[in-house]
Structure 1
């Protein structure tokens, strides 16, 4: 084998391996999904605690009596054999359940200013949440403020 043939074979090998590496990279698709689809799931209706109210972004809420601190959650779920929408709904529900669990722990009866907070970037929205769908894992990150609302 000549030096020229060896170099040509090596160059072709590098080009092919670079091409394959690009197609094998992990997917991280940014999706904005409707909150209504999370709340309409039977599982959400069974598991979410109606005694801990949820208010997204700048939704109006009753006056705050006591502030009990902010909290951040990030939930990852398997996206294998699921549509992006299904995996996003599941991750969002798990994140909301984690927020409600924290609210119970600190004695709050509501969570206000709930926003998407993926990669420490705020994305406030009253009707949608941010989801990052991948080939294997889908993630939803939320942040909210634990409060006790005035009982009127």
Structure 2
């Protein structure tokens, strides 16, 4: 009886550890940008993506997101996590009078992406996480 109980507890513990293992993944940014609306009048520029001339620098901001995974696939939860973090970033930019966020980078722990096309996300069986940071600026209006 004790052996069975110990075996069951060990299996349960190993299952939890395996379920909580975090994997660092990279996904394209465009599906998130195309499916979401962020703060009105705030443009988002990733990495060294070209942007209009900067008129005013308002400082750098970092935001993070760490939602529970529930039944979402890895790509679904990572896209939702990026969307949430970008929404936070764009809202701060809007509130501070910026019309753009430039040099946006994404990262999970020590894995950083400054890519204009892809982002980095940490995902496990129970959640996803990432951070975004960017420089709040006002840029010349598009002509």
Aligned to 2:77: 87
Gaps of 5+ in 1: 1-8
**Greater CA deviation, 122-131 or 19-28?**
19-28
- Mapped pair 1:101 → 2:91: yes
If the length of structure 1 is used for normalisation, what is the TM-score? Answer: 0.79
Which of the numbers 61, 67, 79 marks the counterpart of 1:77? Answer: 67
Query: Is 1:39–2:33 an aligned residue pair?
Result: yes
Q: State the SS of the aligned residue for 1:40.
A: helix
The residue matched to 2:67 in structure 1 has which SS? strand
State how many pairs are aligned.
135
Q: TM-score when scaled to structure 2?
A: 0.84
Matches of 1:84 and 1:22, distance apart in 2: 21
Matches within 5 A, 1:16-35: 17=10, 21-25=13-17, 26-35=20-29
**Which is greater in Rg?**
1
Name the counterpart of 1:56. Answer: 46
Q: Distance in 1 between matches of 2:63 and 2:130?
A: 8
* Structure 2: runs of 5+ lacking an equivalent: none
Measured against aligned partners, the alpha-carbon deviations of 1:8-37 in whole angstroms (never above 9, x if no partner) come to x8xxx79x94x7644431221111011111
Q: Alpha-carbon deviations, 1:116-140, whole Å to 9, x = none? A: 1322653211101111111111112
Give 2:130's aligned residue.
140
CA distance in 2, matches of 1:95, 1:105: 15
Cα root mean square deviation, aligned: 2.1
